[in-house]
Structure 1
Amino acid sequence: MPDQTQPRPPCAPPQLAVIVPTYKEADSVAELARRVDRVLAGIDWELIFVDDDSPDGTPERVRELSRLDPRIRLIQRIGRRGLSSACIEGMLATSAPFLAVMDGDLQHDETLLPRMLRTIEDEELDIVVGSRYVEGGGVGEWNAKRHSMSRLATRIGQRLIHAELQDPMSGFFMVRADVLRSCVRKLSGVGFKILLDIFSSAERPLRFRELPFTFRQRETGTSKLEEAVLWEYLLMLAQKLIGPAIPVRFIAFSIIGGLGVFVHMAVLWPILGLFGSGAFLLGQSAATLVAMTSNFFLNNLLTYRDMRLRGRELLRGWFSFVLTCSIGALANVGIADYLFHEGHSGWFFSALAGILVGAVWNYAVTAVYTWKRHQAA
């Protein structure tokens, strides 16, 4: 006989949680909640908005909705940003056995949600994907450039996951919660393509089906797709190929550091051409400063785009970055020189060891003192 002293829940636990990552979507969240409520009639659901501290009042708007309907919830993230990581946090914050992910800009077709739920249950699937690239689906009014980039990224993604998934770049899908929890520690959480991340991280091939939908035009706000999306996509692929032992930010930091070598030479070469070898010290100093500055702004734009420095913090961050990298350069030269003269190593391995030590120093220290400290200031 059940214990009659245990309090009963005020409502049935959710069967389906709809996770919506948001950033500056204040004008669309109420309409999205209304549409979800309409199409999921008869289903126990909850709607979880995961907001990256939008400055336009999105969190406040969601809180207003939640006071009217307790099935609507908010997770407000401070000091970090990213669609994939937001989706992961939202999916881990519910007890629902089925998890749907969709955008907050009304471009995904919410009327597909009930069919997704029936399909994943009736066919005992792991995941159901809203697909733009199966018969009956479409990309709406995309321009040719965006369409071609999406198809290229799709082909790359298909090679990574080794599955006949026509739209691995889709941001609209439904997954069993136990499938997500079984692979969550392997997810990179980088960029915008959480579906591809799940497929490539799963311990076994996933049972899936794609259902067609047509991508809608944005009704409110502006698109937040940037050139950095492709960069983050490539980083996520690199993380999957290399494995979790090397942080994805270190990969990005190292790539940008390599580009800094070309910037350095591009500044040094014309100075020597104009003033001769007697200006080497001046040219080397100028080239080093320009390369460090270039690296700082690229890292701020790409590697740490979720903690991007702005305003006064940008200047303070640049100063701490230059100071840290100057110390790293001294460590680089010192260790390389010691190994070459005292350690009896060849010049190549001595130089490589110096570069590695300098890169690790620069990455570790600037991560704390350039971005995280200033982000918290």
Structure 2
Amino acid sequence: MMDSLPCPAPRLAVIVPTYQERDSIDAVVDRVATVLQGIAWELIFVDDDSPDGTADRVRAIAQRDPRVRLLHRIGRRGLSSACIEGMMASTAPILAVMDGDLQHDETLLPHMLAVLEREQLDLVVGSRYVEGGGVGEWAAQRQSMSRLATRLGQVLLRADLKDPMSGFFMVRAVVVQACVRRMSGVGFKILLDLFSAAEQPLRFRELPYRFRPRAVGRSKLDHAVVWEYLLMLAQKIVGPVIPVRFIAFSVIGGFGVFVHLAVLWPILRIMGTDAFLLGQTVATLVAMTSNFFLNNLLTYRDMRLRGRQLLWGWFSFVLACSIGALANVGIANYLFQGGHSGWFFSALAGILVGAVWNYAVTAVYTWKRPRASA
């Protein structure tokens, strides 16, 4: 016979992804506990190895309150993937997602739960863009970016969702479990990912809330977030067959062509065509270097190399891409000289082989995920 449980099984799990949010953890726990009185709940913080000790603060609180849990991720980073791992780690039938910076209105949680269960919905969204909601004290530039991203998301979803960029929502666990394998887990917009991965249209309702100003710390939104959002949209268009990192890698590779030509042209203008070999060598090295740093900053943002690893990463990237360039030329020349295809398709085949090689090899040897210690 089983011993009596210290607390009932959770009816609602609140998932809070964190990165450097130590100063707000206590307030999040206190506010959630206050508004969810009378409801069996658990609070799951998913921390991406914050250097400020966020995970340690959660551990200390969890020692006193078993309803508070921690998922401490090592070698992984990203809001969407953190939310997915947190949701899949709970047995609660209802899941809520909210930020750990106190900008989402936790007092809406009981109302979201009541509406979700009463109206037999799949999902309830905390919305800034329905009557009664608002974005608070956002600067004009951020409001413009949010409106543009919202319009793009609405076009992709083909659903009358006023705030597809919201990071504050409540969903039935069975809905997440049904579509989680089709979710990309890329970027910051988990709600858009969830909607686009669902095979059937989701039954939803939006409830208004006003976005609060950040109380502590500083916003982690930057231009890389916009990049990740565009990548997620691109993958939703082309489908899951092509990895989103390969899309990013290829886009940056295309930009490298312009860098290459921008370096080669002035060298030839100054030194003449006799310096073509020198110019081509210098331009190739500069383009590879720019590609490496852009991929490190954007494509592999969650595994960014720093310090001594940066030098080794650059060396392995240049070496892999040099071999890829030889494969590119060799394949293209074989197809063209052998009469298998015209110059355009021969060149295209060479570029594709080189790109796949560069992506595959650098993913294994340049941006390696850290191995867990035995």
- For Structure 1 versus Structure 2, the TM-score category normalised by the shorter chain is over 0.9
Structure 1 equivalent of residue 175 of structure 2? 179
Secondary structure at 1:48 match in 2: strand
1:325 pairs with 298, 321, 327, which one?
321
2:42 pairs with 26, 43, 46, which one?
46
For 2:153 and 2:53, the matched residues in 1 are separated by 35
Letter in 2 for 1:263: V
Structure 1 equivalent of residue 351 of structure 2? 355
Structure 1 equivalent of residue 32 of structure 2? 36
Cα 1:376–1:269 change in 2 (3 A) is farther
For 1:258 and 1:376, the matched residues in 2 are separated by 35
Indicate yes or no: 2:106 matched with 1:110: yes
Indicate yes or no: 2:13 matched with 1:20: no
Correspondence 1:239-318 to 2 at 5 A? 239-318=235-314
Once structures 1 and 2 are overlaid, which stretch shifts more, 351-360 or 366-375?
366-375
Letter in 2 for 1:44: A
CA contact 1:20–1:101 (8 Å) conserved in 2: yes
Shift of 1:6: 3.3
Structure 1 equivalent of residue 204 of structure 2? 208
* Count of residue pairs the alignment pairs up: 373
Once structures 1 and 2 are overlaid, which stretch shifts more, 342-351 or 321-330?
342-351
Structure 1 equivalent of residue 157 of structure 2? 161
For 1:133 and 1:235, the matched residues in 2 are separated by 24
CA contact 2:303–2:369 (8 Å) conserved in 1: no
Letter in 1 for 2:317: F
Secondary structure at 1:94 match in 2: coil
**1:226-272: per-residue Cα shift (whole Å, max 9, x none)?**
10111100100011110110000000000000000000000000000
Indicate yes or no: 2:239 matched with 1:235: no
Structure 1 stretches lacking a partner, 5+ long: none
CA contact 1:307–1:375 (8 Å) conserved in 2: no
**1:5-49: per-residue Cα shift (whole Å, max 9, x none)?**
234433210000000000000000111000000000000000000
Letter in 2 for 1:61: R
Shift of 1:343: 4.5
CA contact 1:309–1:375 (8 Å) conserved in 2: no
CA contact 1:331–1:354 (8 Å) conserved in 2: yes
Letter in 2 for 1:197: D
For 1:153 and 1:331, the matched residues in 2 are separated by 39
**1:253-298: per-residue Cα shift (whole Å, max 9, x none)?**
0000000000000000000000110000000000000000000000
For 1:118 and 1:232, the matched residues in 2 are separated by 34
Structure 1 equivalent of residue 66 of structure 2? 70
For 2:3 and 2:166, the matched residues in 1 are separated by 41
CA contact 2:105–2:210 (8 Å) conserved in 1: yes
Structure 1 equivalent of residue 128 of structure 2? 132
Shift of 1:203: 1.2
Structure 2 stretches lacking a partner, 5+ long: none
2:367 pairs with 353, 365, 371, which one?
371
For 1:343 and 1:50, the matched residues in 2 are separated by 56
CA contact 1:313–1:374 (8 Å) conserved in 2: no
Letter in 2 for 1:123: E
Structure 1 equivalent of residue 7 of structure 2? 11
CA contact 1:309–1:371 (8 Å) conserved in 2: yes
Shift of 1:144: 0.3
Correspondence 1:50-61 to 2 at 5 A? 50-61=46-57
Indicate yes or no: 2:216 matched with 1:220: yes
Structure 1 equivalent of residue 341 of structure 2? 345
**1:173-192: per-residue Cα shift (whole Å, max 9, x none)?**
00000011111001010000
Cα 1:293–1:374 change in 2 (3 A) is farther
Secondary structure at 1:28 match in 2: helix
For 1:6 and 1:60, the matched residues in 2 are separated by 32
RMSD over equivalenced CA pairs, Å: 1.2
Structure 2 equivalent of residue 334 of structure 1? 330
For 1:216 and 1:48, the matched residues in 2 are separated by 22
CA contact 1:317–1:374 (8 Å) conserved in 2: no
Letter in 2 for 1:133: Y
Cα 1:104–1:374 change in 2 (3 A) is closer
For 1:60 and 1:193, the matched residues in 2 are separated by 27
Shift of 1:374: 7.2
Shift of 1:345: 1.6
For 1:344 and 1:141, the matched residues in 2 are separated by 62
CA contact 1:103–1:171 (8 Å) conserved in 2: yes
